[in-house]
Amino acid sequence: MWIQRQLRLPPVPRGFHLITREVVGALPELRDLRVGLLHLHILHTSASLALNENADPSVRRDFEAWFDEAVPERARYWTHTAEGDDDMPAHIKASLLGPSLTLPIAGGSLALGTWQGIYLCEHRDHGGSRSLVATVNGDAGD
């Protein structure tokens, strides 16, 4: 079985946001698969995806603090500045984390670790709604 769907996420403030429920909820066909893969790709250059801690929100705050320190706004060396102080740093952060995830499907659900969740990493103050392409490939078995 192959499925491909575009998912639209509502705007969120800058930060690292758990979106596992939204992704799984938009793909009810996952329940039918014995084994497979879900590939997620974000259609933006100033936001990214990551897989990490899903329980303690301080992890997401610490991610944001580290990235803001490592990739500062208004650095003297930025030349791409026409779209705001947060734009070029957002592109760098998105490149560091990457635009996609490939996740295993087992027994009708995502085969994630106990404490793993899918993050939408919003690197802009006002990034707007974000779109993902979700591609599912798998076998329902007998």
User: How far is it between the farthest Cα atoms of the chain?
Assistant: 61
Range of the domain at 72: 38-139
- Say which CATH number the domain at 90 has: 2.60.120.460
The rounded percent of the chain whose pLDDT value lies above 70 is 99
Asked, for residue 5, whether it belongs to a domain, the answer is no
Closest C-alpha among 1, 108, 83, 97 to residue 47: 97
Mark out the alpha helices in 30-138 (DSSP H runs): 57-70, 87-97
Question: Is 111 within the bounds of a domain?
Answer: yes
9-24: average pLDDT: 98
pLDDT tens track for 39-65 = 999 999 999 999 999 999 999 999 999
On the question of pLDDT at 106 being above 70, the answer is yes
Is 132 a residue whose pLDDT tops 90?
A: yes
Q: What is the pLDDT of residues 26-42, one digit of tens each?
A: 999 999 999 999 999 99
Check: CB of residue 131 under 8 Å from CB of residue 6: yes
Quickly count helices (H) and strands (E) in the chain: 3, 8
DSSP annotation of 36? E
Structure tokens at 88: 């070029």
pLDDT-derived band at 101, boundaries 50, 70, 90: very high
Torsions phi, psi of 63, nearest 5? -55, -50
12 within domain boundaries: no
**What are 15's strand-pairing partners?**
122
Q: Percent of the chain beyond pLDDT 90?
A: 98
Residue 45 lies in a domain: yes
**Is residue 52 in some structural domain?**
yes
**89 alpha-carbon distance from chain centroid:** 17
State the total domains in the chain: 1
**Contact between 132 and 23 (Cβ < 8 Å):** yes
Q: What pLDDT is attached to residue 142?
A: 65
- Tokens at residue 95, please? 């490149």
Rounded distance between C-alpha atoms, residue 105 and residue 137, angstroms? 9
| pLDDT at residue 141 in the model | 76
Mean pLDDT taken over the chain: 97
Question: Residue 137 carries which side chain, given as an amino acid letter?
Answer: N
